[in-house]
Amino acid sequence: MRIIAFKTSQLCLHMGVAFSVTYVFTGSLAVGGVAAVVEPICNVSLMPLHDKLWARFRKGRRNAIEMAIEA
């Protein structure tokens, strides 16, 4: 239950920030609303790719450090 609450608060934060920033720059409620919906969708879609790339980076760095220690 805590995870659901945490993820919901993250979503609300993302949507609020996207709406606020877009509204301040454009003055349009409609454009702010679209940004509030599109921004979290993009984040959710790209986050697994981001995590996978960082995992690959950490693994490569760990292997490089182990090779340097063994040498």
Output the pTM of the full model: 0.61
The pLDDT score that the predictor gives to residue 26 is 95
The pLDDT score that the predictor gives to residue 41 is 87
What does the block give as tokens for 28?
């349009």
Q: In a structure prediction context, what are the per-residue pLDDT tens digits for the chain, which is 71 residues long?
A: 888 998 889 888 888 999 999 999 999 999 999 999 998 888 888 888 888 888 888 887 776 666 666 66
Closest residue by Cα to residue 15 from 28, 34, 1? 34
In whole angstroms, give the CA distance from residue 3 to residue 50. 21
In whole angstroms, give the CA distance from residue 47 to residue 68. 31
What does the block give as tokens for 38?
């599109």
